[in-house]
Amino acid sequence: FCDGSDFSSKAASMQYYSKLYGEAYVELCECAIERMDQGGTIVGISSPGCTPQYRANMGYDIPGTGKCVMEYTTRLMAIKAAPRGITCNVVIPGFTVTDAWDKIATARGTTKHELIAGMMNDMAPLKKLMHPNHIGSIVSFLGSEAGLYITGVSIPADGGVHLV
């Protein structure tokens, strides 16, 4: 890395994820706040490993830094949106069964279900796999009457991954 041989690809990746999870998220939040006259909910989706409550994951260094920007920005957006009655939060799901795991599983010679189940058994005290509809339920709660007092936080809804 010090000889510059790997720097350009790392820098390009860093810029990509900063734009995706930083700049794009800020722009989306600002547009949403402007369009919501009075009240509403903005929810970002992050992933484990991006905040200090999680163990650092060297394999997730570049995307993780972009999501750190998103999580911090959510706190600032919550302050900005509060006068309009808008809440802003981030949900941090646990091991979620999605197609995103296919390439990793193939590279490791296994299936995504076996890969996710193995990781979940090692790192999630509740030992429960998530599906996208579970994340949707959490987002729905944040937009409900009961969730309207929660703002400016990154919520680990991860089966306890943040505890390990």
Nearest to 26, CA basis, from 86, 63, 66, 73: 73
Q: What whole-number distance in Å separates Cα of residue 122 and Cα of residue 116? A: 10
Task: Report the pLDDT value the prediction gives residue 51, as an integer from 0 to 100.
Answer: 65
Rounded to whole angstroms, the Cα distance separating 7 from 109 reads: 30
Mean pLDDT of 134-158: 96
Q: pTM to 2 decimals?
A: 0.84
Q: Are 92 and 154 in contact (CB under 8 A)?
A: yes
C-alpha to C-alpha distance for 58 and 104, rounded to whole angstroms: 15
15-74 pLDDT per residue, tens: 888 888 888 889 999 999 999 988 999 999 988 766 666 666 666 667 777 788 888 999
Specify the 3-state DSSP secondary structure of 151: coil
| pLDDT-derived band at 136, boundaries 50, 70, 90 | very high
Q: Is the pLDDT of residue 157 over 50?
A: yes
Instruction: Give just the sign of the alpha carbon dihedral 24, 26, 32, 34.
Output: negative
Answer yes or no: are the C-beta atoms of 116 and 97 closer than 8 Å: yes
Task: Identify the pLDDT of residue 127.
Answer: 92
Amino acid 21: pLDDT: 80
Q: Find the farthest-apart pair of alpha carbons in the chain and give their distance in angstroms, rounded.
A: 55
